[in-house]
Amino acid sequence: MKESIQLDRNFFSQNTLSVARNLIGMRLVRLEAGKRISGLIIETEAYRGEMDLGCHAKTGMTQRNRVMYGVPGHAYIYFTYGMHWMLNIVTEEEGFPAAVLIRAIHLQEGDDIVKLRRGNQPGKNWCNGPGKICQALKITGVFNGVDCCESHSPLFVESNSGEPFLHFSVTTSPRVGLFKVPEPWKSIAWRFVARAENNLKLN
């Protein structure tokens, strides 16, 4: 019998590219005032190590990026462009800075709450960007560093008995928004996107 199981630290301690790929089809869950807001992860990006010049860790440890150097499975959340929060989950072994950026989800629960925050936009635009997810699920810097592998965490990821809830076919492409980043990092295909087939109506 299949059941929803919270992803554990072992999952996130794997290579960042594997984690980014394997998160596709898993379910991101936000517990807010006892209610669940959740959705299937359909787009991620890998950021891996100080040598990756697209990664925040390229300058070494700073106040902002220090949780990326910590224990895998923790949330690395930062603020950018003056208005947007971004959600990442830390990967690989402690001391090696790496994380997966959650870029898009397909909403499954809590659409009544999300509508209050994103209702000024059509439903297809509610969670199809990293800043939009954080607005929809009310994820802000107060969750920076929370352990997504702890029980009763306000933020975690579920599998379907260790499997994704949907087996998407996945395409890769360069990461988004790295304008001034040198090659090969600018073009390396570390972005993972679920293909919009599988009769999954993206609203």
Partner DNA sequence: AGCACGATTAACT
Partner DNA sequence: GTTAATCGTGCTC
For binding to DNA (CB under 7 A), which residues are involved?
45, 47, 54-56, 59, 62-65, 68, 76, 78-84, 86, 88, 99, 101, 118, 120-121, 125, 129-133, 135, 175-181
Question: Residue 178 CB, nearest distance to DNA (Å)?
Answer: 6
Question: Residue 161 CB, nearest distance to DNA (Å)?
Answer: 29
Q: Which is nearer to DNA, 41 or 99 (CB)?
A: 99
Q: Which is nearer to DNA, 4 or 198 (CB)?
A: 198
Question: Residue 79 CB, nearest distance to DNA (Å)?
Answer: 5
Q: Which is nearer to DNA, 106 or 167 (CB)?
A: 106
3-class SS string, the chain: CCCEEECCHHHHCCCHHHHHHHCCCCEEEEEECCEEEEEEEEEEEEEECCCCCCCHHHHCCCCCCHHHHCCCCEEEEEEECCCEEEEEEECCCCCCCEEEEEEEEEEEECHHHHHHHHCCCCHHHCCCCHHHHHHHCCCCHHHCCCECCCCCCCEEEEEECCECCCCCCEEEECCCCCCCCCCCCCCCCCEEEECCCCCCCCC
Question: Residue 152 CB, nearest distance to DNA (Å)?
Answer: 26
Question: Residue 170 CB, nearest distance to DNA (Å)?
Answer: 18
Return the sign of the alpha-carbon dihedral for residues 30, 10, 146, 118: negative
Q: Which is nearer to DNA, 86 or 188 (CB)?
A: 86
Q: Which is nearer to DNA, 122 or 161 (CB)?
A: 122
